Amino acid sequence: MTPTPLLDRVQAAGLRPMHLGSRELLPIVQGGMGVGISAHRLAGSVAAQGAWGTIASVDLRRHHPDLMARSEGLSDADERKKDVIQQANQEALAREIRQARALAGGRGLLAVNVMRAVSDYAASVRTALQEGIDALVVGAGLPLDLPELAQDHPDTALVPILSDARGVALLWKKWERRQRLPSAIVIEHPAHAAGHLGAAKVADLGDARFEFETVLPAVRQLIRDAGMEGRVPLIAAGGVRCCEDIQRLQSLGADAVQLGTAFVVTEECDAHPHFKQVLAQARDEDLVEFTSVAGLPARAVMTPWLKKYLKAEERLQAVVQLKQRCTMAFDCLSQCGLRDGLKGWGQFCIDQRLAAALRGDMAKGLFFRGRGALPFGSQITSVRQLLERLLTPGVPVGTPA
């Protein structure tokens, strides 16, 4: 039996649906989470409910044993290894898009999230476009060249992730010169979100310019001044836990909200059950902010590996040096603190740490998590249950299903 469409609940909850082009969607976006955390199963399941599901493009080969096997026989010194890994990841991305589309069944919206900071950025954008993805979401750097990369795909929604009005104004001006404007904009609050955060350094995370009460009206005014009122949805990301949070953010000018951690702790999430348990059971006092190997502030659970790394960080920073090649022969980042010997940047292999987390390895993994209690507390529920909860006013955060 087909579940009752959740769009019917939006107005009853005192909310507005989000409109993107001709699509009417739930005002809820599932954020992109790599390595492999939001792949086809999660994104397709979210879209199937009439919401916005997102595949994170980074290192998706880890969900495909045959693609992983291609590089297992090559040593790190083999010149072919980098190309083999990159080709495998592009094939994995194409597969994940197709599988997500089959799950979605023509409902909702499917996006691919690509980090501007990764070396496969342009290749992943091209793969997603060739596969006919509905939207491209780009963060971890200003995607000033995205209009050029997508110039032959005018119907694909282009969605940058930014954190303040100044960044939006800069990107808007640059894109306008390229005769392409954002289809929507994700406004991420770095004080609440998970993973890589939209601030220059850890000390900036609490800056008042990132407050939704400041940035949402300012960006809405920018859009109005450009004559695009009602045509560029704003998506507020960070700190959303309940229906009342969505109501408040819509009153400030947001059209929708984005959640990440809350979708990780669903049955359909592509991560290992141990990954879900780590995030579900973590409290705010278990989280820590630090500088990633990508040179960006990040927020994660203080697991045994992270505790050990942070204890050694000062010593590692004192002996940074440029390496001739990536220690893993992958070059996943265009700039890497470990490979490039950058002082003040992280000194670890982020791909290996996130891959360990994907497997649920507490001893070796890096587990990104956003701040705040989860809608169902530490309970693992379905995507459908999560969306229903977010569309139901009056339910205290942390109440079990």
CA distance 199 to 311: 23
Helices (H) and strands (E) in the chain, counts: 15, 13
Same domain, 11 and 105: yes
SS3 state at 253 = coil
**Confidence check: pLDDT of 4 > 60:** no
| 16 — pLDDT class (breaks 50, 70, 90) | very high
Closest among 243, 238, 248, 146 to 199, alpha carbons compared = 238
Domain count, the chain: 2
Q: For the segment 140-183, what is each residue's pLDDT rounded down to a tens digit? A: 888 999 999 999 999 999 999 998 999 999 999 999 999 899 99
Contacts of 273 (CB under 8 A, 6+ apart): 360, 380
| 103 — pLDDT class (breaks 50, 70, 90) | very high
CA distance 151 to 147: 6
Check if the beta carbon of residue 148 is closer than 8 Å to that of residue 178.
yes
Least trusted range by pLDDT, from 104-108, 118-122, 280-284:
118-122
The overall average pLDDT reported for the chain is: 92
Q: How many residues does the chain have?
A: 401
* Strand 23-25 relative to strand 18-20, pairing: antiparallel
Same domain, 256 and 329: no
Q: Which residue has the tokens 């940074």?
A: 320
What average pLDDT does this structure show over 189-211? Answer: 81
Note the pLDDT of residue 76. 67
Closest among 365, 217, 255 to 303, alpha carbons compared = 365
Same domain, 193 and 208: yes
Q: For the segment 310-331, what is each residue's pLDDT rounded down to a tens digit? A: 999 999 988 988 887 777 767 6
**Confidence check: pLDDT of 66 > 90:** yes
What average pLDDT does this structure show over 204-219? Answer: 89
**Confidence check: pLDDT of 110 > 50:** yes
CA distance 101 to 99: 5
Note the pLDDT of residue 329. 67
What average pLDDT does this structure show over 271-282? Answer: 96
Check if the beta carbon of residue 136 is closer than 8 Å to that of residue 163.
no
Please report whether residue 1 resides in a domain: no
Same domain, 221 and 86: yes
Name residue 22's amino acid: S
Domain extent, residue 290, equals: 284-367
Note the pLDDT of residue 2. 47
Check if the beta carbon of residue 264 is closer than 8 Å to that of residue 276.
yes
Can you give the CATH number for the domain in which 30 is found?
A: 3.20.20.70
More confident: 193 or 153: 153
More confident: 380 or 71: 380
Same domain, 99 and 155: yes
| 1 — pLDDT class (breaks 50, 70, 90) | very low
Same domain, 377 and 363: no
What is the Cα 144 distance to its own chain's centre?
A: 18
Check if the beta carbon of residue 180 is closer than 8 Å to that of residue 194.
no
Please report whether residue 354 resides in a domain: yes
Q: How far is CA 164 from CA 33, 98, 219, in A?
A: 21, 34, 8
